[in-house]
Structure 1
């Protein structure tokens, strides 16, 4: 049973929403963030990546970075770039990319649901990345970017959300990447209570993106509980900012791989080894091959493209993890042939999000790689199946687009 609640959202004044809204902190480095804010003093990157307003020599995990984030957020609120709703509200957040819409509900989720695995995980987290966001949330005393959740669609919840979204939106703008962002404020307390009650019928929610931010938000909540032993459980620090989309709305994009060398094999030897577990078909042109079904891959070797299909017996269709294409590639090519045991640590492999297209694989092959693989996207049902058995997805399995914008909703602790 999922426990959600409304909150008094801190959000941009209408005329500044498009200027404030920014891509998440973890999709760019500091230098790129500095470039993005040129001429835009309103960008929320001044909060989420506050190092851009400090000397470049300062470490991004220095205490001064978190202090600057806190100060920048306070200044933006004091200057009335933001307003705060006077009652607990829920919010609808719709994104439209290439004609495809995904519509989510913005709310506060319970840290206990995360701890008790009502909100399920499918990735490991790293302590140093958690600590960065713990510091950021703690210093800012706020969740500044929503966690990206999903759930198995509930028709009644969808009907209520769709009915409200027939009203005039609060924000409606196109970001610089062409993605449209539309939001509505659900400020009717009766509708808020109805949706909160309906979510009690949702057995599980799943983290689609934002595992480190979720873990960090929960740990900040636990820290606050230690400082307030008489807490009731209803304080704001017991909750974190989230937006949940029904599973049918989401599209997972491919997450492709490129490798620097053939691990000592000649091209002929490599193809011979691959043919043991895959059917190989040379493509008629070398522009690229984008798989259209599971268990098929595009493979580019030194500029030549092949379609490869996993042979029967090369994977276990009954195992939620081993049947994933990322696992099939890892266990049949990357590890035994190319000698890459751990893709998280190897410097011989790199990853290309599907948003960058097949052309990026060709570009890397021309530049610094010898072999590339185009993948069929992981399905959202596969992510849920892995999370349901308490396991984690292989590294670099999913790439979600569009990315949620930070700065549209802030939850004060």
Structure 2
């Protein structure tokens, strides 16, 4: 059953939390990143971009060491503080109608190894090792693995009670997202949460497959190096953010391909006809609304593609996944794309306006054809994970996206 532990978080002092918290590094444009680093000395981005101090782009092991140095400086300058008692940390994100409440905790690598923590994506061994080396050098983890659990009344009651108190942090960022964080430090609340999760049979990774795999790899390495290993060392756990299934938001990734693999437009449509009933859409943008229906944009026109279920056979949970159907009926056999991760001919996009971006990129000639799908749901993710199967890459874009630097786990 699922094991969760409180931990002594490294956190920004209350007056600096809003300045420290940062989005994922990849979400910043080059100019925005430069401006934050120049004008906000408290941003967590200074830690993960240590070369800025030297006006130099630093990579590899040298960067890892400098990340550790910048982190140490934040502690020395009391930008960060360490809690004296192990806690769980409730973290609420709210923007408009979107609101989610989960909590930071430490999860067990043994649960990961024993498939209590379930996965639905493949990981790349090279990236696992790179991040494991990073973790060992810097000595902390600031990026939690996002995991879900089945909605539970006992957990909800505890979280509701804890959030009735004054939060440690309460601030709104410039993207109009409100962030609140509470410490759960009462022994009774901690033990009740642990006991409740001990009866939960599985946790599902929503985002962070490489982070969890790397933490597992590092734990195995440090175990072999520690002759006095007993199992409760900090490296046997990794930081996670747990939210109920009902509060996760899943969005689709569109697929765009640069060419038709040597086919003319008519030859391509004829080949599609084997697996799909094709209808040209005359009125504006077209997005699918049901599973096994796809939108295609080609040569200035939108088409609906309806899967011929008498031709395509469902054999397991993976075969019913729309991203897998698209791969097995179009991308691989017709367009010649076998490696979805590395083939330079395919690109992916997400977001509510992405179908417009997809249309524009095809109209300008950057891509030849694009496909839009309906989002995958949580039940599909669980079915894939329970069966030990793996989704195609870029099957889901998942929210919430957490701010970095609000809670840090040290090894």
TM-score category of the 2 structures, normalised to the smaller one = over 0.9
2:237 alignment counterpart: 239
SS at match of 2:154: helix
Q: SS in structure 2 opposite 1:114?
A: helix
Alpha-carbon distance change, 16 to 363 in structure 1, aligned in 2, over 3 angstroms: farther
Q: Does structure 1 residue 326 correspond to structure 2 residue 328?
A: no
Hey, what's the Cα distance between the residues in 1 that align with 2:111 and 2:289?
Answer: 37
Is the 8 Å Cα contact of residues 254 and 354 (structure 2) preserved in structure 1?
no
Q: 1:190 aligns with which of 188, 191, 203?
A: 188
Q: Distance in 1 between matches of 2:294 and 2:384?
A: 22
Question: What is the rounded CA distance, in whole Å, between the counterparts of 1:328 and 1:282 in structure 2?
Answer: 20
* Correspondence 1:316-355 to 2 at 5 A: 316-317=313-314, 319-354=316-351
For 2:406, the equivalent position in structure 1 comes to: 408
State whether residues 248 and 400 of structure 2, in contact with CA within 8 Å, keep that contact through their aligned partners in structure 1.
Answer: no
Match of 2:159 in 1: 161
Q: 1:389 to 1:30 in 2, by over 3 A?
A: farther
Contact 2:295-2:304 at 8 Å conserved across structures: yes
Could you tell me how far 1:400 is from its partner in structure 2? 0.9
Compute the TM-score of the two structures, normalised by the length of structure 1.
0.93
**Corresponding residue number in structure 2 for 1:313:** 310
- Select between 164-173 and 45-54 the one with higher mean Cα deviation: 45-54
CA distance in 1, matches of 2:122, 2:32: 27
TM-score, L = length of structure 2: 0.94
Following superposition, the deviation at residue 391 of structure 1 comes to: 1.4
Partner of 1:260: 258
Distance 1:358 1:385 in 2: 28
The Cα offsets for residues 205-257 of structure 1, whole Å up to 9 and x where unpaired, read as 11111111111112222232223222222222221111011111111101110
Match of 1:290 among 287, 291, 296: 287
Contact preservation (8 Å) 1:24, 1:145: no
What is the rounded CA distance, in whole Å, between the counterparts of 2:40 and 2:220 in structure 1? 36
Instruction: Show structure 1 runs of 5+ residues with no match.
Output: none
* 1:22 match: secondary structure: coil
State which of 332, 356, 371 in structure 2 corresponds to 1:359: 356
Report which stretch shifted further, 4-13 or 30-39.
30-39
What is the CA-CA distance between 1:131 and the residue it aligns to? Answer: 2.5
Kindly indicate whether the alpha-carbon contact (under 8 Å) linking 1:365 and 1:372 is maintained by their aligned counterparts in 2: yes
Instruction: Tell me what 2:127 maps to.
Output: 129
Task: Kindly state the Cα deviation for residue 192 of structure 1 after the two structures are TM-superposed.
Answer: 0.8
Residue-by-residue CA offset, 1:308-350 (whole Å, 9 max, x unaligned) = 2212234344510010000111111112221212212221111
Range moving further from structure 2, 63-72 or 19-28: 19-28
Shift of 1:132: 2.6
* 1:299 CA displacement: 0.7
Root-mean-square deviation (CA, aligned residues, Å) is 2.0
What displacement does 1:35 show? 5.1
Distance (Å, rounded) in 1 between the aligned partners of 2:13 and 2:109 = 29
Report what 1:230 is aligned to: 228
1:273-308 CA deviation, whole Å, 9 max, x = no partner? Answer: 22322222222333x222222111111012211222
Structure 2 unmatched runs, 5+: none
1:146, 1:320 → 2: CA distance?
Answer: 28
Q: Which residue does 1:378 correspond to in 2?
A: 376
Q: 1:314 to 1:324 in 2, by over 3 A?
A: farther
